Copies of this chain bind each other. A is one copy, B any other.
């Protein structure tokens, strides 16, 4: 079933303990698309500036990503600059220039409004809600968020939670939003706020799924060479939503399988700077790593 994502497209400048890269293609929607496209074509709703490189547009298009919803606005593309610390688990934002993304008012092309699978990447909750206002037949809607929106626009975020099927959030944010110190309580509390499904991302410690009918957890894929963690969460979401969209249904079994695929696509992402590894990989690479991951977690 068709899949649509609304989120950022960016140029990132990244420093890690082992190297650095300037102005590489990034953004939540970009990572999401490049992970989801292994499974299904993806419709991208985002905004860039006039400086967006033709080669990057070509890269997206050559990966089964429909860019009809990618607006090219006056001004520059969103830029983010960050520094990762030695353990790769913590990072510092050095600079943010929202540029065209600061005025982003997502508008779904008319022929896309009936897309059944929707992912609302991290953004202002009212902007995320505006996408839902345009969607005519949403079947499965998942959103991401971050500490900024929990701090500054909590009411809008709570209103959004009542309208979506699933929330993907990291562990610290889950505790912050729920007010619970214990992660299990935090996840269960978030379920009470509206979503049928909450996935808590724990980075190198894997992910946890809370659902009204079951709980499920997976470790991360055992990566011994993390080059750049940027985009891991969005690559996880892309694999997760892509897998579900391909299946066309949301059952307990499919949700678990999708979480494992998300784990796999996230693991590919962190093996290179930017989107290199994700964009070079084939579906067969995803499948062989998925099989390897099954061995790794199967009793």
State whether B181 touches A299 (Cβ < 8 A).
no
State whether B256 touches A299 (Cβ < 8 A).
yes
The distance from the CB of A245 to the nearest CB of chain B, in whole angstroms, is 19
State whether B222 touches A219 (Cβ < 8 A).
no
Cα A204 to Cα B222 in complex, Å, equals 18
- A220-268, CB < 8 A from B: 222-226, 256-257, 260
- A15-32, CB < 8 A from B: none
Determine whether A297 belongs to the interface, using a CB cutoff of 8 Å to chain B: yes
Determine whether A184 belongs to the interface, using a CB cutoff of 8 Å to chain B: yes
Cα A182 to Cα B226 in complex, Å, equals 8
Cα A219 to Cα B296 in complex, Å, equals 12
Interface-located stretch among A64-72, A108-116, A135-143, A210-218: A210-218
Determine whether A117 belongs to the interface, using a CB cutoff of 8 Å to chain B: no
Query: Pick the contact of A294 from B88, B204, B299 — CB < 8 Å?
Result: B299
Closest B residue to A205 using CB positions: B205
Determine whether A52 belongs to the interface, using a CB cutoff of 8 Å to chain B: no
State whether A219 touches B206 (Cβ < 8 A).
yes
The distance from the CB of A155 to the nearest CB of chain B, in whole angstroms, is 27
Cα A181 to Cα B181 in complex, Å, equals 27
State whether B216 touches A296 (Cβ < 8 A).
yes
State whether A223 touches B299 (Cβ < 8 A).
no
Cα A112 to Cα B298 in complex, Å, equals 36
Cα A223 to Cα B208 in complex, Å, equals 13
Determine whether A73 belongs to the interface, using a CB cutoff of 8 Å to chain B: no
Query: Pick the contact of A299 from B214, B222, B297 — CB < 8 Å?
Result: B297
- A163-214, CB < 8 A from B: 181-185, 188, 202, 204-206, 208, 214
Cα A20 to Cα B204 in complex, Å, equals 33
The distance from the CB of A243 to the nearest CB of chain B, in whole angstroms, is 12
The distance from the CB of A109 to the nearest CB of chain B, in whole angstroms, is 36
Query: Pick the contact of A205 from B202, B297, B299 — CB < 8 Å?
Result: B202
Closest B residue to A253 using CB positions: B299
State whether B299 touches A217 (Cβ < 8 A).
no
The distance from the CB of A254 to the nearest CB of chain B, in whole angstroms, is 11
Query: Pick the contact of A184 from B185, B216, B218, B223 — CB < 8 Å?
Result: B223
Determine whether A295 belongs to the interface, using a CB cutoff of 8 Å to chain B: yes
- What are 7 contact pairs spanning A and B, CB under 8 A? A87-B181, A182-B224, A182-B225, A182-B226, A184-B222, A215-B222, A217-B222
**A182-B224, A206-B219 given; 18 more Cβ-contact pairs under 8 Å:** A86-B181, A182-B226, A184-B223, A184-B224, A188-B224, A202-B205, A208-B222, A215-B222, A215-B296, A216-B297, A217-B222, A217-B296, A218-B297, A256-B298, A257-B299, A297-B297, A297-B299, A298-B299
Residues of A within 8 A of B (CB): 86-88, 181-185, 188, 202, 204-206, 208, 214-219, 222-226, 256-257, 260, 294-299
